[in-house]
């Protein structure tokens, strides 16, 4: 974990938020490489969930919504975590995070408590996670609004809009990607638990029948797991975990998490939730089928975190064989697909030829340029960034119009005709 955090900062994947002013707990800024990685994850998700399907449409709803949305959805009342306060130092923790509490108690014990003193805690209080903001221009008359705690509600409040303005029929889904905000009691584990983060969610509407609900719940569980595997997450580091009755969210009939084996233990990064008719009925929304039958559909939700996925893709990709460190990211997720180098930076003909190759690849692929140091150092630098292919222009290029293409994972090189380079990269990305 420490190596990944350091690499992320050093190479421009992820920086602490507002760092020059001492940071802001629970916020992170994605740098040039991190923002590409995140964009690639979101694009792949959108392509598989919307672009390639005929039963899902996308939306992009506002972050700030009428507060009545949160009253109706139950979030004002029930979007809470149990909070306890340490009576020794007044730090606050989530009562259900037993390991964090035990760790905190141990740190007090190691510091040495006054004789006879135990670490004591307040009894758990409900703590609402919604972040509040104020809107309006007249002081004293500002309206309290909430920054959305989950992006989900935007899909529900627009359900009838989507049905009436599109040719969609149940079963169908509404997909969305966007920011969510939670006043988390204990942000931590790098970006894993942040106060501002991005979600990628599907709300899939089905007939309110047990068989339909169960069928689609199982279907989406499989689809989502396969998607993560298809982008390189190691199968043995993935598992499903069923929610116990006591931990299920207020809206869920049943729920299962997809977990990844992170350095800090098995951790959720996507939830598959059977929300029943909770949300649509709370918003008093319904559906009429072709036979004129009216009903409130049930919802199967897949709710993934972009930031948690990005972190797990990075952790999963990290490779170190003591000679070099490389990120074995799936090429479609890699920030740069290809890097182009002139063998020598002071040979005009090589630089010009390399520049023309760089210019020809750049419109189609995220392409990096490097002419610093020697070739070995440039390879190491691209390995750490996860760039799958490095193209070197050497003296042979000037004679036969071929370049060496070096593979990130095997470090092997092959010669490819310049005229076939774009097709070579495109084929590998298919
Ligand atoms: P946790 O139990 O870890 O707090 P949750 O069960 O509350 O998570 P959901 O409400 O199911 O999470 O949210 C769906 C997804 O949104 C999560 O699987 C995760 O990927 C992402 N997510 C939720 N909270 C955070 C957060 N604080 N920081 C980053 N991602 C988050």
- pLDDT of 386-403, one tens digit each? 999 999 999 999 999 999
d(CA 264, CA 262): 5
Please determine, for residue 165, whether its predicted confidence score (pLDDT) is greater than 90. Answer: yes
Give me the mean pLDDT over the 158-176 stretch.
Answer: 96
Give me the mean pLDDT over the 34-47 stretch.
Answer: 98
CA 183 to centroid of ligand 1, rounded, Å: 12
d(CA 221, CA 241): 11
Please determine, for residue 61, whether its predicted confidence score (pLDDT) is greater than 80. Answer: yes
Residue 137 structure tokens: 């221009």
CA 145 to centroid of ligand 1, rounded, Å: 21
pLDDT of res. 362? 97
- Select from 303, 304, 306, 307 the residue to mutate for testing ligand 1; criterion: most ligand atoms less than 8 Å from CB: 303
Domain with CATH 3.30.930.10 in the chain: 2-65+130-318
Assign 251 a pLDDT band (cuts: 50, 70, 90).
confident
Q: pLDDT tens digits, residue range 102-154?
A: 999 999 988 888 777 888 999 988 889 999 999 998 888 899 999 999 999 99
- Select from 30, 271, 299, 312 the residue to mutate for testing ligand 1; criterion: most ligand atoms less than 8 Å from CB: 271
Q: pLDDT tens digits, residue range 333-381?
A: 999 999 999 999 999 999 999 999 999 999 999 999 999 999 999 999 9
Domain with CATH 3.40.50.800 in the chain: 338-429
Assign 213 a pLDDT band (cuts: 50, 70, 90).
very high
pLDDT of res. 91? 87
Residue 114 structure tokens: 């006054």
Considering only CA atoms, which residue is closest to atom 1 of ligand 1?
268
Atom number of ligand 1 nearest to Cα 305: 20
Q: Would you state the torsion angle of the CA atoms of residues 69, 71, 73, 76, taken in this order, to the nearest 10 degrees?
A: 120
Please determine, for residue 166, whether its predicted confidence score (pLDDT) is greater than 90. Answer: yes
CA 209 to centroid of ligand 1, rounded, Å: 28
Helix (H, G, I), strand (E, B) or coil at 279: helix
Q: Which residues of 271-283 are buried (b: 16+ CB within 10 A; e: fewer)?
A: bbbbbbbbbbebb
Considering only CA atoms, which residue is closest to atom 6 of ligand 1?
271
pLDDT of res. 359? 98
CA 80 to centroid of ligand 1, rounded, Å: 13
d(CA 357, CA 367): 10
Class of domain 338-429: alpha beta
d(CA 102, CA 94): 12
pLDDT of res. 252? 79
Give me the mean pLDDT over the 246-255 stretch.
Answer: 81
Considering only CA atoms, which residue is closest to atom 3 of ligand 1?
268
**Other CB atoms within 10 Å distance of the CB of residue 109:** 11
Instruction: Specify whether the CB–CB gap between 37 and 154 falls below 8 A.
Output: no
Give me the mean pLDDT over the 306-334 stretch.
Answer: 97
Which residues have CB under 8 Å from 368's CB, separation 6+?
336, 338, 339, 340, 382, 385, 387
**Other CB atoms within 10 Å distance of the CB of residue 111:** 9
CA atoms within 13 A on the CB side of 190: 24
pTM here is: 0.94
Q: Where are the beta strands (DSSP E) in 182-253?
A: 196-206, 238-242
- Select from 199, 243, 264, 311 the residue to mutate for testing ligand 1; criterion: most ligand atoms less than 8 Å from CB: 199
Please determine, for residue 174, whether its predicted confidence score (pLDDT) is greater than 90. Answer: yes
Is the omega angle on the peptide bond into residue 171 within 30 degrees of 0, that is, cis?
yes
Angle (CA) 158-163-169 rounded to 5° is 135
Give me the mean pLDDT over the 306-330 stretch.
Answer: 97
CA 206 to centroid of ligand 1, rounded, Å: 24
First-to-last alpha carbon distance for the chain, in angstroms, is 31
CA 269 to centroid of ligand 1, rounded, Å: 7
Please determine, for residue 293, whether its predicted confidence score (pLDDT) is greater than 90. Answer: yes
What's the residue count for the chain?
A: 430
CA 28 to centroid of ligand 1, rounded, Å: 16
Please determine, for residue 219, whether its predicted confidence score (pLDDT) is greater than 80. Answer: yes
pLDDT of res. 68? 95
Give me the mean pLDDT over the 8-28 stretch.
Answer: 97
Assign 78 a pLDDT band (cuts: 50, 70, 90).
confident
CA 179 to centroid of ligand 1, rounded, Å: 12
**Percent share of the chain, pLDDT over 70:** 100
Considering only CA atoms, which residue is closest to atom 4 of ligand 1?
193
Rounded to the nearest integer, the mean pLDDT of the chain is 95
Instruction: Specify whether the CB–CB gap between 155 and 174 falls below 8 A.
Output: yes
Q: Which residues line ligand 1 (CB under 6 A)?
A: 150, 182, 184, 193-194, 197, 199, 268-271, 303-305, 307-308
Give me the mean pLDDT over the 38-47 stretch.
Answer: 98
d(CA 260, CA 180): 21
Helix (H, G, I), strand (E, B) or coil at 36: helix
Give me the mean pLDDT over the 162-169 stretch.
Answer: 95
d(CA 14, CA 6): 9
CA 260 to centroid of ligand 1, rounded, Å: 13
d(CA 189, CA 48): 29
Sort residue 236 into left (φ over 0), alpha (ψ -120 to 50) or beta.
alpha
Instruction: Specify whether the CB–CB gap between 17 and 29 falls below 8 A.
Output: yes
Give me the mean pLDDT over the 25-52 stretch.
Answer: 98
Domain range 2-65+130-318, CATH architecture: 2-Layer Sandwich (3.30)
CA 270 to centroid of ligand 1, rounded, Å: 7
Pairing of β 367-369 and β 338-342: parallel
pLDDT of res. 115? 74
Question: What DSSP character marks residue 287?
Answer: E
CA 318 to centroid of ligand 1, rounded, Å: 24
Considering only CA atoms, which residue is closest to atom 19 of ligand 1?
305
- Select from 96, 151, 192, 193 the residue to mutate for testing ligand 1; criterion: most ligand atoms less than 8 Å from CB: 193
């Amino acid at each position: 974990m420490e190596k990944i955090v350091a690499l992320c900062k050093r190479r421009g994947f992820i920086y602490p938020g507002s760092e020059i002013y001492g940071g802001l707990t629970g916020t992170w800024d994605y740098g040039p490489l991190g923002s590409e990685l995140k964009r690639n994850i979101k694009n792949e998700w959108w392509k598989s969930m919307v672009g390639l399907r005929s039963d899902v449409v996308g939306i992009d709803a506002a972050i700030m919504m009428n507060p009545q949305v949160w009253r109706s959805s139950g979030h004002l009342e029930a979007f809470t975590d149990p909070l306890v306060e340490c009576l020794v130092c007044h730090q606050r923790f989530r009562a259900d995070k037993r390991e964090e509490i035990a760790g905190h108690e141990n740190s007090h014990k190691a510091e040495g408590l006054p004789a006879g003193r135990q670490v004591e805690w307040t009894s758990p209080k409900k703590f609402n996670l919604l972040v509040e903001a104020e809107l309006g221009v007249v002081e004293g008359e500002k309206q309290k609004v909430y920054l959305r705690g989950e992006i989900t509600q935007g899909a529900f409040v627009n359900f009838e809009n989507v049905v009436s303005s599109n040719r969609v029929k149940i079963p169908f889904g509404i997909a969305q990607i966007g920011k969510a905000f939670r006043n988390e009691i204990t942000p931590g584990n790098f970006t894993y638990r942040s106060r501002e983060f991005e979600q990628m969610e599907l709300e899939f509407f089905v007939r309110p029948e047990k068989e339909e609900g169960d069928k689609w719940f199982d279907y989406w569980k499989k689809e989502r797991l396969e998607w993560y595997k298809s982008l390189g997450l190691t199968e043995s580091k993935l598992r499903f975990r069923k929610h116990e009755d006591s931990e299920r969210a207020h809206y869920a009939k049943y729920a299962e998490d997809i977990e990844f084996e992170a350095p800090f233990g098995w951790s959720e990064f996507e939830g598959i939730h059977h929300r029943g008719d909770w949300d649509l009925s709370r918003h008093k929304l319904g559906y009429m089928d072709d036979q004129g039958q009216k009903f409130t559909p049930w919802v199967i939700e897949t709710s993934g975190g972009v930031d948690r996925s990005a972190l797990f893709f990075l952790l999963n990709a990290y490779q170190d064989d003591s000679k070099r460190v490389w990120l074995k990211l799936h090429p479609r997720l890699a920030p740069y697909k290809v890097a182009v180098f002139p063998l020598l930076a002071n040979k005009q003909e090589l630089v010009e030829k390399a520049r023309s190759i760089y210019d020809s690849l750049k419109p189609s692929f995220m392409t990096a340029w490097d002419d610093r140091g020697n070739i070995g150092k440039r390879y190491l630098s691209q390995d750490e960034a996860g760039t799958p292919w490095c193209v070197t222009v050497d003296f042979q290029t000037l004679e036969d119009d071929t370049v060496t293409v070096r593979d990130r994972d095997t470090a092997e090189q092959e010669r490819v005709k310049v005229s076939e380079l774009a097709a070579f990269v495109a084929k590998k990305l298919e």
